[in-house]
Structures are given as structure tokens and as C-alpha cells.
Amino acid sequence: MPELIPVLTREEIKKRITGIAVQISKDYENRELVLIGVLKGAFVFLSDLIRHLTIPVQLDFVSVSSYGSGTSSTGEIRLTKDLSIDINGKDVLIVEDIIDSGQTLQWLSNYLSSLCPNSVKICTLIDKRERREEQISVDYSCHTVEEGFLVGYGLDYAEDYRYLPGIYHLKL
């Protein structure tokens, strides 16, 4: 049986989101901010984050496929759902569930930058350091871990566990 070891409770997640929401609201005051969630993993995080912001924002989603059903990247990235709003001249904040090798975000920031926004920054729920391959600058992060495979609060393993309110380390 897979084992679930608690990493963050729903209360701890809420506290951290409140903290970065204050920072983001301050940094983007009087700007045209578009939050871009990376499906599916970031949907829970983004829906909580947006309700803690105190500035007006626009919202969109993209979907990229980089993982099969395993726990490590296939290295191949494809856009499976594109933006539906125009980000030309706007400030973009990518909202991701977890950064691992950094390949997905490296690819996505390059793609979004090609659409001529005013800026592109990165906000992640979890910054996982162990397997980083790309020099990614993470602008906002709720939690850092060195290693392990995490599930819950939107994060999945082969589409399971997304519904859990807290975040867990999955031991297979």
C-alpha cells in the first residue's frame, strides 16, 4: 500500500497563501495582472490564491503535458490548451503547482514571453530543488522541499490524490 506522509496541513497552506497574496497584491498594484494557471495541478492553489488578492486581476489557464503517469519527466513538453485572452502588454504571473526539473516552466515562460507581455514572473505552490536542471527564477513560492513526490491539494500521482485538502509525501 502507498504511504502518505503529511507535509503541509490545509491551515499551513492557507497561512502561506495569505503571505504571498499580500506580497503579490503589493507588487502588482496599479498594473494589468493576468494570472495564468497551469492545469490541472494548479487549479486548487490558484482558486485559493485569487481570493486572497486585494487587487483586480484577469485569469486564464494553459495545459502542458510533460509527464506521463510516472513520477519523473519525459522531457517532452507540449501545449495541450492555449490561452484564450490576449496578454500583449500585460503583466503575467504563471501559477504552477510544483517546479521539479524546471523544464515545464522554462518552456512555458519562453512561450508566453513570445506573446509580448510586459513581464512574466513565476509563482509556485512548491519549489522542489533536488532535480532542478534549468536556471529558473522563482518569484513567489509557498514551500520548498528538497526531494520526494508530493500529492494532494491539486497535485496528483497518475490522476489520484488531487482531492486531498493537505499536501503529502507519497511513498510508493
Q: Work out whether 152 is an interface residue with Mg ion (CB under 5 A).
A: no
> Which of Mg ion, ligand IMP, none sits in contact with 122, Cβ below 5 to 8 A by type?
none
Concerning whether 100 is annotated as a catalytic residue, the answer is: yes
Query: In the bound complex, what is the minimum distance in angstroms from residue 30's beta carbon to ligand IMP?
Result: 31
> Which of ligand IMP, Mg ion, none sits in contact with 120, Cβ below 5 to 8 A by type?
none
Residues that bind ligand IMP (CB under 6 A): 38, 41, 66-67, 73, 96-104, 128, 149-151, 155
Give the amino acid at 123.
C
> Which of ligand IMP, Mg ion, none sits in contact with 150, Cβ below 5 to 8 A by type?
ligand IMP
Cell representation of residue 122: 513565476
Catalytic: which of 48, 100, 127, 156?
100
Catalytic residue positions? Answer: 100
